[in-house]
């Protein structure tokens, strides 16, 4: 689905997507985007920020509040870091600033769809439930819980958490986590990882400003650990 009020831009994106074999629905405003996602359940949403009747950020707020996990690639004319990070903070998986290369846009679409399909088609061994203390990640059902409480994660947040839960206590560099997010076809900055980590801490940590599970290893990256085991090691 393409949500873009600029007719020429929408037509350009539609043509490129159809050339790669995708069926495309185009909507021209934010409210239409929300309703169309609800009823058509697309595989991916290309979402412009500046639209009438609800902008792209409001669309994203609504869709993520409804726990809709479809990949979202945002298009924006806003080039400041704060604006771009706000989109990621709300649950976008990737973004591009205008003007953009249609070929680069298609590369990012392929990356997001490939990762979604790989996740959906993972073999049973790869889909084993992962537990790090009371944090449980179920790759097969795409579900996360902590202390028995369900946690809603965006696709990007889930990929980071699943990778780290598969190797608890391993230190992941930002580069490694970017590869989990976008493979080797990555275009966005290391700051993207920091935003996802910050959002995950809000969801899985009792005190996000004093994390006990998702820890920073200064100068290196991040690691996921079991707080109970860490406390036991510290007291021994």
Same-domain check for residues 116 and 6:
yes
Same-domain check for residues 113 and 153:
no
Contact (CB, 8 A) for 100 and 108? no
The last residue of one of the domains, among 70, 86, 120, is 120
Q: Please write the tens of the pLDDT for every residue from 1-12.
A: 999 999 999 999
Same-domain check for residues 66 and 156:
no
What pTM does this model have?
0.59
Q: Does residue 125 form part of some domain? A: no
DSSP state of 53: S
| Predicted confidence band of residue 125 (pLDDT cuts 50, 70, 90) | very low
Same-domain check for residues 172 and 230:
yes
Q: Please write the tens of the pLDDT for every residue from 5-35.
A: 999 999 999 999 998 888 999 999 999 999 9
Number of domains the chain is built from:
2
Contact (CB, 8 A) for 119 and 139? yes
Same-domain check for residues 146 and 105:
no
Output the domain CATH number for residue 114: 3.40.50.2300
Structural domain containing residue 56: 2-120
Between CA 30 and CA 49 the distance in angstroms is 9
Burial of 155 (0-12, 13-18, 19+ CB in 10 A): buried
Query: Residue 146 forms beta bridges with which residues?
Result: 135, 149
């Amino acid at each position: 689905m393409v949500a873009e009020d600029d007719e020429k831009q929408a037509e350009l994106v539609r043509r490129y997507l159809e050339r790669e074999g995708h069926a495309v629905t185009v909507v021209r405003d934010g409210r239409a985007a929300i309703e169309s996602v609800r009823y058509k359940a697309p595989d991916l949403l290309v979402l412009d920020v500046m639209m009438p009747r609800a902008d792209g950020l409001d669309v994203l707020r609504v869709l993520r509040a409804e726990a809709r996990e479809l990949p979202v690639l945002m298009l924006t004319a806003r080039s400041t870091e704060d604006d771009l990070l706000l989109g990621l903070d709300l649950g976008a998986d990737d973004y591009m600033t205008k003007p953009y290369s249609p070929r680069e846009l298609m590369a990012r679409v392929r990356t997001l769809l490939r990762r979604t399909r790989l996740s959906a088609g993972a073999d049973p061994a790869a889909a084993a439930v992962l537990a790090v203390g009371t944090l449980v990640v179920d790759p097969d059902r795409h579900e996360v819980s902590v202390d028995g409480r369900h946690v809603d994660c965006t696709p990007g947040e889930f990929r980071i958490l699943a990778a780290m839960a598969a190797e608890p206590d391993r230190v992941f560099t930002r580069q490694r986590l970017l590869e989990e997010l976008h493979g080797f076809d990555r275009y966005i900055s290391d700051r993207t990882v920091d935003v996802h980590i910050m959002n995950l801490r809000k969801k899985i940590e009792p005190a996000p400003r004093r994390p006990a599970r998702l820890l920073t290893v200064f100068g290196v990256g991040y690691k996921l650990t079991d707080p109970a085991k860490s406390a036991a090691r510290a007291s021994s």
